[in-house]
Amino acid sequence: MEHASFGDERNATFGITEEDHTLANSLRFTLNQDPRVIFCGYSIPHPSDAKVNIRVQTTGEPAREVLKDSCQDLMLMCQHVRGSFDKAVADFKKNNSSNKQSSKDMDTD
């Protein structure tokens, strides 16, 4: 899936199958926020192919490692989003069950 020229690990294009804007755009965001990245972008070569190409150029680190770190960052962010969301929902349910009758049909899970 990785296309880099031999001996130059700093610049590479990664082809990821079965993915679309959902993952590629999020990864472009985390990659762009990484100070080691000079350039990054993604493209979908053809709308009928379930495939995206992500281009990464770095200041020196292997592009592969930087992309891996970005995925890691995205995962940690997601975990934090999930944690905060669950907490907010729990808080909301707690506050509302005390002053609302209809709270019973909210606890469906």
Partner 1 sequence: MSDAESMMHGGFVSALDLPDVPSSKLPHHLDLRRTRVLCNSVAPDNTDTVQYSGAYASMGVDNSLRLDDFRNNFKVNVNRLTADEMEFDMVGVDPSLANAFRRILLAELPTMAIEKVFIANNTSVIQDEVLAHRLGLVPIIVDPRHFDYLSENDRPNEKNTIVFKLHVRCKKGDPRGTVKSDELRWLPKGSEFLKESGASASNTKAETYTSFNFSQDSMPEFSDNPIGVSPGIIVAKLAPGQEIELEAHAVKGIGKTHAKWSPVATCWYRMLPEVVLNEDIKGDMAEELVKKCPASVFDIEELANGKKRATVARPRACTLCRECVRDDEWERRISLCRVKDHFIFTIESVGALPPEVLFTEAVKILEDKCERVISDLS
**Nearest to partner 1 of 1, 43 (CB atom):** 1
Q: Taking a C-beta distance cutoff of 8 angstroms, is the pair 3, 15 a contact?
A: yes
Q: Does 99 bind partner 1 (CB under 8 A)?
A: no
Query: CB 13 → partner 1: shortest distance, Å?
Result: 13
Which amino acid does the sequence have at 29? F
Q: Taking a C-beta distance cutoff of 8 angstroms, is the pair 28, 41 a contact?
A: yes
37 forms bridges with which residues in the sheet? 58
Query: CB 8 → partner 1: shortest distance, Å?
Result: 17
Residues that bind partner 1 (CB under 8 A): 1-2, 14, 16, 19-23, 25-30, 32-35, 37, 64, 67-68, 71-82, 84-89, 91-93, 96, 105-106, 108-109
